[in-house]
Structure 1
Amino acid sequence: MRLPADTVLLLVDVQDAIDDPVWGPRNNPDAEHAIAALLGAWREAAMPIVHVRHDSVEPASPYRPGTPGHAFKACAAPAPGEDVVAKATGSAFVGTDLEERLAAGGHTTLVVCGVLTHNSVATTVRHAGCLGFRAFVPQDACWAVEQRDQSGRVWPAETVHALALAGLHGDYAGVTTTAAVLSAVTLTTAFRRRKERRRTAP
């Protein structure tokens, strides 16, 4: 895969609240390591990063501002100068200036990771697709939790995760892996540095 140098890494709802037992069993236990690797690569390449923080308006939500869970997880804590967008719904584009920020920077491509795959990640990616953005979702840098349907059947987190990604792939995003994204960033950085050397050469 190829990524333009202005591709935005969009980290969705990676906050301590997601560790609350209320969510139930999850999949992808190593997702935080993948997220940290992506964030490190973006910082090293000086590519744009946007952290999406969920500010829940539900009184009992672990994502509610003022609660311990509202803080960013250590693996995804914003560095000074990195953009933070606060949302109160599933989509990072609703009630925020995210679309305006992306348009102002001329950004057309997003790599979206975080939680939950079937909730805010999928909602944000679908919205991004409807707005005309090109999106990629590294499947090992996001996770789902088990879900109970209307009949009472409990669907395992891995199944929920896989079906959510299947619904995104093709129409709204390209589902990929962290390794593939990191390789693309390395290639993009190499081409950019080569171009800069040619421009500054005597």
Structure 2
Amino acid sequence: MEITENAALVVVDVQQGFDDLASWGPRNNPAADENIAALLAAWQDTGRPVVFVRHDSVKPDSPLRPGQPGNDLKEYVEQRRGLGKGPELFITKTVNSAFYGTPDLDAWLKAEGITQIAVAGIQTNMCAETTARMGGNLGYDVLFAYDATYTFDQTGPFGWSLTADELSRATAVTLHGGGFARVVTAEELVSAVRSV
């Protein structure tokens, strides 16, 4: 796998509110936080750019709304802010895509000459997937760190329900099969970054 010297890691919504399982229900991939931390360390150690994204929910009952402890980034992510040798950006958003946040992610990536992004974070099939899809649509070479994401069981129309694992697999197939992104593992990304 080829990783550009200025590939940006986009860490989507790794917030304390997602630890509130009473709000979200059963989740998958208990190793996700460890994998996200490994990606952050690899990116920062090699001087590559990192984008931290926080979801500021406008829903009154969301644990992710501003002013609530759940809005804060998880401690291991917050502690990493400002530690990298490369450029860093902090984005807040109220919708699924980090490309619709403040400041403008696309403008920043272009100004930094970045053409490749790696996406990790929460939730696999929501904000992480939407950010990856938009990145692909905008012409970026997108790497989706499948095992550095997680999601929750969900019920949709017609009484249909999917487990978190099923939703994650659907995201991986859609992104990869649809040409939006290359779906990879955190280990593959870390190895590629550290071997350059």
Q: Tell me which interval the TM-score lies in, with the shorter structure as reference length.
A: over 0.9
Distance in 2, matches of 1:169 and 1:75, equals 29
Indicate the SS of the match to 1:166. helix
Indicate the SS of the match to 2:99. coil
Which residue identity is paired with 1:41? A
- How far is 1:5 from its partner? 0.5
Q: Spell out, residue by residue over 1:16-60, the C-alpha distance to the aligned partner (whole angstroms, 9 max, x if none).
A: 011122111111001000000000111110110000111111111
Distance in 2, matches of 1:18 and 1:95, equals 20
Verify the 8 A CA contact 1:117 1:144 in the aligned structure 2. Answer: yes
Distance in 2, matches of 1:126 and 1:47, equals 22
Identity %: 40
Verify the 8 A CA contact 1:33 1:75 in the aligned structure 2. Answer: no
Indicate the SS of the match to 1:80. coil
Q: Spell out, residue by residue over 1:140-169, the C-alpha distance to the aligned partner (whole angstroms, 9 max, x if none).
A: 100121111212232111011100111101
Match of 1:198 in 2: none
Q: Spell out, residue by residue over 1:84-139, the C-alpha distance to the aligned partner (whole angstroms, 9 max, x if none).
A: 11111001111431111101000010000001011001111111111111100111
**How many residues are aligned here?**
188
From 125, 129, 133, the counterpart of 2:132: 125
| Runs of 4+ more than 4 Å apart | none
Match of 1:194 in 2: none
Match of 1:89 in 2: 95
Distance in 2, matches of 1:49 and 1:29, equals 23
Indicate the SS of the match to 1:62. coil
Unaligned segments of structure 1, at least 5 residues: 189-202
Distance in 2, matches of 1:9 and 1:138, equals 10
Superposition pairs of residues 99-110 of structure 1, within 5 angstroms: 99-110=106-117
Structure showing greater Rg? 1
Match of 2:75 in 1: 74
Which residue identity is paired with 2:184? T
- Does residue 29 of structure 2 align to residue 17 of structure 1? no
- Does residue 193 of structure 2 align to residue 185 of structure 1? yes
Which residue identity is paired with 1:56? S
- Does residue 54 of structure 2 align to residue 53 of structure 1? yes
Match of 1:114 in 2: 121
Verify the 8 A CA contact 2:120 2:148 in the aligned structure 1. Answer: yes
Verify the 8 A CA contact 1:10 1:110 in the aligned structure 2. Answer: yes
Unaligned segments of structure 2, at least 5 residues: none
Distance in 1, matches of 2:53 and 2:44, equals 17
Distance in 2, matches of 1:24 and 1:183, equals 33
Which residue identity is paired with 1:136? L
Which residue identity is paired with 1:34? N
Which residue identity is paired with 1:131? L
Distance in 1, matches of 2:49 and 2:101, equals 21
Match of 1:173 in 2: 181
Verify the 8 A CA contact 1:35 1:75 in the aligned structure 2. Answer: no
Which residue identity is paired with 1:68? P
Verify the 8 A CA contact 2:43 2:49 in the aligned structure 1. Answer: yes
